[in-house]
Chains A and B, each alone.
Chain A
């Protein structure tokens, strides 16, 4: 096994595999999702969408739809402006109208809503709403959008939430929402003196999260408060944004979530909530807005990217300089794209120690459905490029791909391109474990005959989005039973269970008996959001602090009444003695925000860019049919550094789950648009996601023995790490087998076959 890097104290609860708290509900069909919320008198909404990618919205004809029995109202952007005068929302830019106003900016943009007594009536009537739209030229490709004279927005509207975006306010005649720059050393000098120079461009395609529970929000606006039931990963943000839109106080906005049927970044920040609230305001009744699977594709997606990467290497195989130019296709509305551009952009040079680095990472608007956060927050697109090129370099220099990476690895104590010193980033350990588990040195390629075999690997690094805050409350009831209140949303990643384990660890109670309250902003305190693998680290700390605070208060009360020591299982006696009966509640609270230093505007330098680094690597063996380009992944190994694996049972599933989801985006998935910007394949019949027959026969997974010193109990996040290395591992293995390099995702057999034809023609 591995060399132990850790000096972990013995844990009572942490690190012992535990079943999720909600297993019985989930296998018996009793788990509660937002889908099941029914409100007395509620109306059903059906969204009418733009059929034009870019155009002036002249008129919307609603009379025919209104006349249909059971239709209560047909609502347009103008109606919404009557109740919310400035109806623009978004986490980074306030650029997205609740319903289109003067312009439409992508096919599928919401332009009107039918409200009816039943969902089927609303759906039927939506077909009778007709919009007059004057078409404008549209721009779809991210590189073209950089220089196009077709502008998606008249001017930029940063939200003001982020200090570093404020300077963009009011800028006109551009599609560039944000350009992040990082400069370190002298790249010109590095390239001038390089023994080898590499220059490659890699692209990734637009894909969709496709959570199986389609997005859904319900709202009920009363005279003094609004209640919102929503399948959201960020109840605190929804509360703040709705309060801002209405001009109300935060404490007048109540946001509740149930279990989420998957999220993956699709249900972040604010999606349908503003529309549901606006519709309830207009109609004076509760409103349910439930999307179909197909409609999700018009709501949020993952950025398509074009990444040109140039690398200078010396004669010994050391990377001496790297230029990264990444362009992110943000679609028509910014969503969180500008954050992805910066927070992930600075990792574009990869997990390598490089003295001279120059990064430009640019978010652009286009006339496509908006792009935002998607499992990995941009990292998978970056790793795809830098690890594909790492393989190209190693191959050219005749070096073993793992040896090349180990030689250049950003090991602890080295300086990242941002200037932050690396710490607790087990890059070499992940590479070595991957090599051992895969049996890398002994795995030989076979380049003869019709079916050929090859191997490939990739490793990626992610910084934790910072600085962000989490708050938790832990209570002890008079019978000694414990509860935890947080706004962390359990969407399948097992966060409820981990938070219960942390309470159990601190208080010595049974984790299975800790009650975890589902988010309800009336009672659950602030949390930035459930995203970017931040909950275990941030909320884990907050829950730990809250539990410690509760324990301190319990001990003080025990001392007061002379019950000592306080033993788990005997908390009740303290309350009995203090109050003379089973009465009282102890309330502990905890707040966590890590240290952080904003990157310098000009150079992107920061001594403290992230509280932790997440590492994920993948190795694959494939067999390629040279006649058809069809390929089979024979083996896949996935290794991550997540510090202490808090709940090993769930850690394993998160590793393979992330790898399988990523495999879908690498091999199968692609949103396909025609020249008008019409999406051809919204919905699962034309957009195939991985099924049980699509996974490799052998799929290995491991969390290395590592410890995150500043993490709660040595832990850090993990939900995304196994997504990082998948794409480049496959492309490398295919080149190893048949000698062709695919640089554009997804990797489909047709591309391999065409590349083989081209190669053979050249040879012939």
Chain B
């Protein structure tokens, strides 16, 4: 029953990361070991979205993603969206719309909103609900989250128009 350890390399937010992982650990465990706090385990069943990350550009639930499977993969977390005082337009929209309270779920909502807007720059309410259906907010900030998505979409469209 002893644990099996694997040495893995993967690309984390653009930089190669070398990590020794326990066969029983998931992606959230490894990211926390890498010193990142934005990816969080909550329900442990892939239902709440608090642990959302992108693997090879696709959103996955980190709590259901075995750590060793990250080997050789390109991984993006919420930390990639900001650097220093520069934050992403989606993050700014979440601030301006007041789209969170306790903040525990926010990383997941931000990443899924980013995904939504990259595929549907002018999303309908149904599209917003569809993309964010896998993210839960127990504080119930959904009206503000919907407003934040729309605000980010407007700002992205305006930026595009200017360019």
Residues of A at under 8 Å CB distance from B? 19-20, 22-33, 35-36, 68-70, 118, 120-121, 124, 209-214, 259-264, 292-294, 491-494, 649-650, 652-654, 656-661, 683-685, 689-693, 695, 699
Is the CB–CB distance between B143 and A212 below 8 Å? Answer: no
* Residue B146 CB within 8 A of the other chain: yes
A27's partner among B22, B32, B40, B91 (CB-CB below 8 A) is: B91
Q: Nearest residue in B to A659 (C-beta to C-beta)?
A: B140
Instruction: Report the separation of the CA atoms of residues A292 and B81 in the bound assembly, to the nearest whole angstrom.
Output: 29
Among B24, B82, B102, B144, the most chain A Cβ lie within 10 Å of the Cβ of B102
Q: Chain B's nearest CB lies how many Å from the CB of A261?
A: 3
Q: List which B30-64 residues lie within 8 A (CB) of chain A.
A: 32, 36-40, 42-45, 47-48, 50
Is the CB–CB distance between B78 and A653 below 8 Å? Answer: no
User: Given contacts A692-B133, A692-B146, are A211 and B98 in contact (CB under 8 A)?
Assistant: no
* Residue B95 CB within 8 A of the other chain: yes
* Residue B70 CB within 8 A of the other chain: no
Among B47, B77, B135, the most chain A Cβ lie within 10 Å of the Cβ of B47
A685's partner among B47, B101, B135, B140 (CB-CB below 8 A) is: B47
Residues from chain B with Cβ under 8 Å of A69 in the complex: 1-2
Residues from chain B with Cβ under 8 Å of A693 in the complex: 129, 133
B3's partner among A35, A121, A212 (CB-CB below 8 A) is: A121
A29's partner among B107, B135, B143, B144 (CB-CB below 8 A) is: B107
**Those 7 A-B pairs whose CB atoms lie nearest each other, nearest first:** A29-B38, A492-B102, A261-B104, A660-B140, A492-B101, A26-B103, A657-B140
Q: Nearest residue in B to A20 (C-beta to C-beta)?
A: B98
User: Given contacts A29-B39, A657-B139, are A262 and B95 in contact (CB under 8 A)?
Assistant: no
A28's partner among B87, B138, B146 (CB-CB below 8 A) is: B87
- Apart from A35-B40, A653-B141, A692-B135, what are 15 other A-B pairs with CB-CB below 8 Å? A19-B98, A28-B78, A29-B37, A29-B38, A30-B38, A68-B1, A259-B103, A262-B138, A293-B44, A649-B98, A653-B139, A657-B141, A660-B140, A692-B137, A695-B142
A493's partner among B3, B101, B110, B137 (CB-CB below 8 A) is: B101
Q: Chain A's nearest CB lies how many Å from the CB of B6?
A: 14
Residues from chain B with Cβ under 8 Å of A35 in the complex: 37, 40
Is the CB–CB distance between B101 and A657 below 8 Å? Answer: yes
User: Given contacts A212-B105, A693-B129, are A653 and B98 in contact (CB under 8 A)?
Assistant: yes
User: Given contacts A292-B44, A657-B140, A692-B146, are A494 and B101 in contact (CB under 8 A)?
Assistant: yes
Q: Nearest residue in B to A649 (C-beta to C-beta)?
A: B98
Selected A-B contacts with CB under 8 Å, 5 pairs? A27-B91, A212-B137, A264-B138, A692-B133, A695-B143
Q: Chain B's nearest CB lies how many Å from the CB of A665?
A: 12
* Residue B153 CB within 8 A of the other chain: no
User: Given contacts A27-B95, A30-B38, A120-B24, are A261 and B142 in contact (CB under 8 A)?
Assistant: no
A692's partner among B42, B79, B132 (CB-CB below 8 A) is: B132
Instruction: Report the separation of the CA atoms of residues A609 and B22 in the bound assembly, to the nearest whole angstrom.
Output: 57
A261's partner among B39, B45, B103, B133 (CB-CB below 8 A) is: B103
Q: Chain B's nearest CB lies how many Å from the CB of A496?
A: 12
Q: Chain B's nearest CB lies how many Å from the CB of A560?
A: 41
Residues from chain A with Cβ under 8 Å of B95 in the complex: 19, 23-24, 27
Is the CB–CB distance between B102 and A260 below 8 Å? Answer: yes
Residues from chain A with Cβ under 8 Å of B1 in the complex: 68-69, 124
Instruction: Report the separation of the CA atoms of residues A28 and B77 in the bound assembly, to the nearest whole angstrom.
Output: 10
* Residue B145 CB within 8 A of the other chain: yes
Q: Nearest residue in A to B95 (C-beta to C-beta)?
A: A23
Instruction: Report the separation of the CA atoms of residues A32 and B103 in the bound assembly, to the nearest whole angstrom.
Output: 10
Q: List which B98-121 residues lie within 8 A (CB) of chain A.
A: 98, 100-107, 110
* Residue B68 CB within 8 A of the other chain: no
Q: Chain A's nearest CB lies how many Å from the CB of B96?
A: 8
Is the CB–CB distance between A33 and B40 below 8 Å? Answer: yes
Instruction: Report the separation of the CA atoms of residues A494 and B98 in the bound assembly, to the nearest whole angstrom.
Output: 11
Residues from chain A with Cβ under 8 Å of B107 in the complex: 29
* Residue B128 CB within 8 A of the other chain: yes
Instruction: Report the separation of the CA atoms of residues A121 and B22 in the bound assembly, to the nearest whole angstrom.
Output: 10
Is the CB–CB distance between A30 and B133 below 8 Å? Answer: no
Instruction: Report the separation of the CA atoms of residues A264 and B137 in the bound assembly, to the nearest whole angstrom.
Output: 13
Residues from chain B with Cβ under 8 Å of A292 in the complex: 44
Residues from chain B with Cβ under 8 Å of A260 in the complex: 102
Instruction: Report the separation of the CA atoms of residues A261 and B10 in the bound assembly, to the nearest whole angstrom.
Output: 29
Is the CB–CB distance between B91 and A120 below 8 Å? Answer: no
Is the CB–CB distance between A26 and B138 below 8 Å? Answer: no
Q: Chain A's nearest CB lies how many Å from the CB of B158?
A: 20
User: Given contacts A492-B102, A653-B98, are A36 and B32 in contact (CB under 8 A)?
Assistant: yes
Is the CB–CB distance between A212 and B136 below 8 Å? Answer: yes
* Residue B25 CB within 8 A of the other chain: yes
Q: Chain B's nearest CB lies how many Å from the CB of A671?
A: 16
Is the CB–CB distance between A684 and B128 below 8 Å? Answer: no
Residues from chain B with Cβ under 8 Å of A209 in the complex: 138
Residues from chain A with Cβ under 8 Å of B139 in the complex: 262, 492, 653, 657, 661
Instruction: Report the separation of the CA atoms of residues A491 and B78 in the bound assembly, to the nearest whole angstrom.
Output: 21
Instruction: Report the separation of the CA atoms of residues A684 and B136 in the bound assembly, to the nearest whole angstrom.
Output: 10
A33's partner among B3, B104, B135 (CB-CB below 8 A) is: B104
Q: Nearest residue in B to A36 (C-beta to C-beta)?
A: B37
Residues from chain A with Cβ under 8 Å of B32 in the complex: 36
Residues from chain A with Cβ under 8 Å of B138 in the complex: 209-212, 262, 264, 661, 689
User: Given contacts A212-B42, A259-B102, A293-B43, are A120 and B144 in contact (CB under 8 A)?
Assistant: no
Residues from chain A with Cβ under 8 Å of B91 in the complex: 27-28
User: Given contacts A120-B25, A213-B40, are A29 and B79 in contact (CB under 8 A)?
Assistant: yes
Q: Chain A's nearest CB lies how many Å from the CB of B126?
A: 9
Q: Nearest residue in A to B81 (C-beta to C-beta)?
A: A28
Q: List which B125-163 residues lie within 8 A (CB) of chain A.
A: 128-129, 132-133, 135-146
Q: Nearest residue in A to B132 (C-beta to C-beta)?
A: A692
Instruction: Report the separation of the CA atoms of residues A33 and B81 in the bound assembly, to the nearest whole angstrom.
Output: 20
Among A212, A649, A653, A657, the most chain B Cβ lie within 10 Å of the Cβ of A212
Q: Nearest residue in B to A684 (C-beta to C-beta)?
A: B43
Instruction: Report the separation of the CA atoms of residues A22 and B102 in the bound assembly, to the nearest whole angstrom.
Output: 10
Instruction: Report the separation of the CA atoms of residues A29 and B32 in the bound assembly, to the nearest whole angstrom.
Output: 12
User: Given contacts A691-B136, A692-B145, are A213 and B81 in contact (CB under 8 A)?
Assistant: no
Instruction: Report the separation of the CA atoms of residues A120 and B129 in the bound assembly, to the nearest whole angstrom.
Output: 35
Instruction: Report the separation of the CA atoms of residues A36 and B106 in the bound assembly, to the nearest whole angstrom.
Output: 16
Instruction: Report the separation of the CA atoms of residues A310 and B94 in the bound assembly, to the nearest whole angstrom.
Output: 48
Is the CB–CB distance between B45 and A685 below 8 Å? Answer: yes
Q: Chain B's nearest CB lies how many Å from the CB of A695?
A: 5
Q: Chain A's nearest CB lies how many Å from the CB of B59?
A: 15
Is the CB–CB distance between B94 and A213 below 8 Å? Answer: no
Instruction: Report the separation of the CA atoms of residues A209 and B102 in the bound assembly, to the nearest whole angstrom.
Output: 14
Instruction: Report the separation of the CA atoms of residues A35 and B100 in the bound assembly, to the nearest whole angstrom.
Output: 19
Is the CB–CB distance between A689 and B136 below 8 Å? Answer: yes
Among A120, A124, A652, A692, the most chain B Cβ lie within 10 Å of the Cβ of A692
User: Given contacts A657-B139, A658-B140, A692-B129, are A31 and B37 in contact (CB under 8 A)?
Assistant: yes
Residues from chain A with Cβ under 8 Å of B77 in the complex: 29
Residues from chain B with Cβ under 8 Å of A649 in the complex: 98
Residues from chain A with Cβ under 8 Å of B144 in the complex: 653
Residues from chain B with Cβ under 8 Å of A29 in the complex: 36-39, 77-79, 106-107
Q: Chain B's nearest CB lies how many Å from the CB of A9?
A: 26
Instruction: Report the separation of the CA atoms of residues A260 and B98 in the bound assembly, to the nearest whole angstrom.
Output: 17
Residues from chain B with Cβ under 8 Å of A691 in the complex: 133, 135-136
Q: Chain A's nearest CB lies how many Å from the CB of B113?
A: 11
Q: Chain B's nearest CB lies how many Å from the CB of A179?
A: 34
Q: Nearest residue in A to B82 (C-beta to C-beta)?
A: A28
Residues from chain B with Cβ under 8 Å of A684 in the complex: 43, 45, 47-48, 136
Residues from chain A with Cβ under 8 Å of B137 in the complex: 212, 692
Is the CB–CB distance between B104 and A27 below 8 Å? Answer: no
A656's partner among B82, B103, B136, B143 (CB-CB below 8 A) is: B143
Q: Chain B's nearest CB lies how many Å from the CB of A230?
A: 16
Is the CB–CB distance between A120 and B22 below 8 Å? Answer: yes
Residues from chain B with Cβ under 8 Å of A654 in the complex: 101
Q: Chain B's nearest CB lies how many Å from the CB of A90?
A: 25
